[in-house]
Amino acid sequence: MFRNAKNVGYYMIGSGSLAQLGDLIGARRAAVNGPAVFFIDHFFEGKDLIAKLPVESKDMVVYVDTTNEPTTDSIDGYTDKVKAFLNGVAPCALLAFGGGCVLDTCKCVGNLLNNPGKAENYQGWELVKNPAPYKIAVPTLSGTGSETSRTGIICNEEKNIKLGMNSDYTMFEQVLLDPDLTASVPRNQYFYTGIDTYMHCFESITGSYRNVVVDSLAEKAIDLSKQVYLSSDMMSDENREKLMIASFLGGMAAGFVGVVHPLSAGLSMVLHMHHGIANCHALTVLEDIYPNEYKDFMSMMERQGIDLPKGICQGLTDAQYDALYGASIVHEKPLSNRLGPDFKKILTKENVIERFKRM
């Protein structure tokens, strides 16, 4: 079987490009006589960014709490609020301003606006049947690739699983990449989030579920990531633009990941750790599975002066270690992508828990 792959329809990139957002949303207002819904990281509430956005009096602004990653409950809650505001009127567009948490929230709420049921009903592959409203992504962080991926990641706390709405309908129709928006990101967060591009791309090209297009995109994203993180200043103007491009390409290359992301998902579910830093912790105990990438990652951290907290899994209960194992090993597709169908013979319960204890 051959997959008919979809990518983002339009993109704009460059310093100062945020000034063009009014034109982009203006075209949507002319096409659909409904309000726009702006999903904005709560970090920006009361900040200068809001004054730069083309928000009209009829529009809705939703501040997304990014303290924790999106959950099925939080997505359902935001969906209820947006539906109540729209009251049956079709929006001209949904717009997302933030990192992966905000972008994924916008994508998942968009799916639920035009599909019945709750968020947990659509965690998986090709479960979304009706197109979502038009969506525009404006990332203020680089690395997750959410701006170009077909997945909106959600934590289902009841089922102890982190899984996305994986569908062509989840994708953004328009992406605007302005590297000026990442200039004020805290240095550690810039590293933790940005390195996600490097990680999901090397997992993709070291797996067995591959194709030549994904490999090409991933290889370029990895090259750009290394240029950024092995440079003397990862946050220079040039490097912030490079990292945005790497994230853009990496999102398109994001297919099946490998072992890093399942362990990272376990940390997100049990310790409520954000995705980027959870990935970093995961790779520090996978030197036997990804030896070259482990060495590169450690060099990148040293080069940029990044200190990863130690002892994050010390003192946990047996029940918590069991939950970490369960929330990791459940991701069979990525684990078999890297280790083959017998991955459980390598990643035994004892082996996985020992890795978490080393964090």
Q: Of all helices (H) and strands (E), which one includes residue 175?
A: strand 174-177
CA distance 289 to 305: 25
Residue 205 shares a structural domain with residue 148: no
User: Given a cut of 90, is residue 5 above it in pLDDT?
Assistant: no
Q: How many residues does the chain have?
A: 359
User: For the chain, what is the radius of gyration of the CA atoms?
Assistant: 20
Please give the pLDDT value at position 227.
Answer: 98
Structurally, the chain folds into a number of domains equal to 2
| Domain-located, residue 334 | yes
Domain with residue 74: its CATH number is 3.40.50.1970
- List the one residue out of 301, 194, 295 whose CA is nearest residue 239: 194
Residues 263 and 131 in one domain: no
Q: How confident is the model over 64-96, as pLDDT tens digits?
A: 999 999 999 999 999 999 999 999 999 999 999
135-139/161-166 β-pairing: unpaired
Q: What is the pLDDT of residue 254?
A: 75
User: Is the same domain home to 228 and 176?
Assistant: no
Does some domain include residue 237?
yes
**102: its two tokens:** 């905000």
Residue 147 has pLDDT above 80, yes or no: yes
* Domain match, 195 and 70 both: no
| Strand 124-125 with 161-166, pairing | parallel
State both tokens at 345: 């013979």
**Are residues 236 and 158 both part of a single domain?**
no
* 19 C-beta neighbours (distance < 10 Å), count: 9
Domain membership of residue 215 as a residue range: 186-356
Of 148, 180, 212, the residue that ends a domain is 180
Angle between the N-to-C axes of helices 332-339 and 260-271, in degrees from 0 to 180, rounded to the nearest 10: 150
**Domain-located, residue 168:** yes
**pLDDT score recorded for residue 87:** 98
| pLDDT per position as a tens digit, 233-255 | 999 999 999 999 999 999 998 77
Q: Which residues are paired to 163 by β-bridges? A: 154
Say if 163 falls within a structural domain: yes
| pLDDT score of 291 | 98
Last residue of a domain, one of 147, 180, 213: 180
- The string of pLDDT tens digits covering residues 182-234 is 999 999 999 999 999 999 999 999 998 888 988 999 999 999 999 999 999 99
Prediction pTM value: 0.95
Mean pLDDT of 133-148: 97
Task: Write out the E strands in 34-149.
Answer: 36-41, 60-64, 93-98, 124-125, 135-139
Do residue 341 and residue 248 come from a single domain?
yes
User: Does residue 12 sit within a domain?
Assistant: yes
Look at residue 211 in the predicted model and tell me its pLDDT.
84
Give residue 144's pLDDT: 95
Q: Are residues 92 and 151 in the same domain?
A: yes
In a domain, 308, yes or no: yes
Helix%, strand%, coil% for the chain, nearest 5: 50, 15, 35
Three-class secondary structure of residue 151 per DSSP: strand
Rounded Cα–Cα distance for residues 201 and 255 (Å): 9
Q: Please state, in angstroms and rounded to a whole number, the distance separating the CA atoms of residues 74 and 77.
A: 5
218 shares its domain with 154 = no
Same domain, yes or no, for 267 and 249?
yes
pLDDT digits (tens, 9 = 90+) for 37-55: 999 999 999 999 999 999 9
Q: What pLDDT is stored for residue 3 in this prediction? A: 75
Bigger pLDDT: 255 vs 177: 177
Last residue in a domain, options 162, 180, 198: 180
Greatest alpha-carbon span in the chain: 59
One domain for residues 79 and 223: no
Are 163 and 16 in a shared domain? yes
Q: Treating both helix axes as pointing N-terminal to C-terminal, what angle do 260-271 and 318-329 enclose, rounded to 10 degrees?
A: 140
| CATH code, domain with 335 | 1.20.1090.10
CA 121 vs. chain centroid, Å, equals 20
Same domain, 105 and 252: no
Any domain includes 298: yes
Q: What is the mean pLDDT of the chain?
A: 96
Asked whether residue 2 is domain-assigned, the answer is no
Q: 303 to each of 86, 143, 188, how far by Cα in Å? A: 49, 18, 13
